């Protein structure tokens, strides 16, 4: 018995979000050298924010909402680093299911809920759910069936998406007045793109990390949050008693299905 490529939809959605939002909002090249962010131009702040994001060794990524054009609202909560370690969850929205994700080294664990099994694995999902029970599926990170989730867990992949799509400067980038986001002082940068408004809130003190990215308009309503920069990914992994071998569940074949 072979199984589906688990995680394709959340990985594809996250990539689409990054390409549509992050690459557009954090645009430009070069690094400004002025010390006071109040005196920097919108483009200089965007440059610094992009460079800060690309230099991070780890971070917590939070996404929610949808990109319009008939897309399904989804959410992701994930702490990840450049070594490919991660810990978090993905929710496919509209009662389509959610899953916990843990990756450490060469191993990855996934714990789908009942809605995930029902909607994402229509052929045999209920049987799989009965076998796995309240355990994680454990597999090798290089298993092709888990490759989408593995890529989602890699901060290098995320940063490459940002870097590769950082030169789209259509629309005027504007700098707003300093304000607050929670307890943080931020400067908002906005850009109009294809009928939508992109807003990037950049930390106004300390390192100019991007803290929140929103897209609104033209059917889209979504948010990306960035936090816990350079903090370690939790090292705790599911115990053997709480794990079930994914190969035993989906079959020994690792060829695409």
pLDDT digit string, tens, across residues 135-159: 999 999 988 878 777 878 889 988 8
What distance, in Å, lies between the first and last C-alpha atoms of the chain? 11
CATH assignment of 8-250, given 2.60.40.10, 2.50.20.20, 2.40.50.100, 3.80.10.10?
Answer: 2.50.20.20
Residue 66: predicted pLDDT? 84
Task: Tokens 């700098």: give the residue.
Answer: 175
What contacts 6, CB < 8 A, 6 or more positions away?
A: 99, 110, 112, 120, 137, 145, 146, 148, 149
Split the chain (257 residues) into runs of 10 and give each run's mean pLDDT. 48 55 49 64 90 94 82 87 94 88 94 88 83 93 82 86 71 91 95 87 94 90 94 96 87 41
Domain-by-domain residue ranges, the chain?
A: 8-250
pTM: 0.84
- DSSP 8-state class, residue 157: H
∠ at Cα 52 (146, 157), nearest 5°? 15
Give the dihedral of Cα atoms 28, 33, 35, 38; nearest 10 deg: -30
Q: H helices of the chain, where?
A: 8-17, 23-25, 42-55, 114-120, 125-132, 147-152, 155-164, 246-250
Instruction: Find the farthest-apart pair of alpha carbons in the chain and give their distance in angstroms, rounded.
Output: 62
């Amino acid at each position: 018995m072979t199984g589906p490529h688990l995680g394709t939809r959340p990985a594809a959605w996250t990539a689409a979000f990054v390409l549509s939002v992050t690459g557009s909002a954090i645009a430009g090249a070069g690094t400004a050298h002025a010390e006071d962010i109040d005196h920097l131009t919108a483009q200089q702040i965007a440059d610094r924010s992009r460079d800060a994001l690309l230099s991070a060794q780890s971070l917590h990524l939070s996404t929610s909402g949808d990109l319009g054009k008939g897309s399904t609202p989804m959410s992701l909560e994930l702490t990840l680093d450049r070594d490919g370690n991660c810990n978090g969850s993905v929710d496919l929205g509209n009662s389509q299911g959610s899953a916990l994700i843990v990756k450490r080294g060469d191993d990855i664990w996934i714990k789908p809920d009942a809605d995930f099994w029902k909607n994402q694995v229509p052929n045999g999902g209920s049987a799989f759910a009965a076998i796995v029970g309240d355990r994680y599926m454990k597999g090798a990170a290089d298993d092709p069936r888990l490759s989408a989730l593995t890529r989602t867990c890699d901060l290098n992949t995320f940063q490459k998406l940002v870097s590769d799509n950082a030169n789209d400067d259509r629309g005027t980038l504007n700098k707003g007045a300093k304000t607050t986001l929670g307890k943080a002082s931020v400067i908002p940068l906005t850009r109009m793109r294809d009928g939508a408004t992109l807003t990037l809130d950049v930390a106004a003190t300390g390192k100019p990390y991007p803290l929140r990215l929103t897209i609104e308009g033209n059917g889209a309503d979504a948010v990306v949050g960035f936090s816990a920069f350079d903090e370690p990914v939790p090292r705790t992994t599911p115990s053997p008693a709480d794990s079930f071998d994914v190969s035993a569940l989906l079959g020994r074949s690792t060829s695409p299905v």
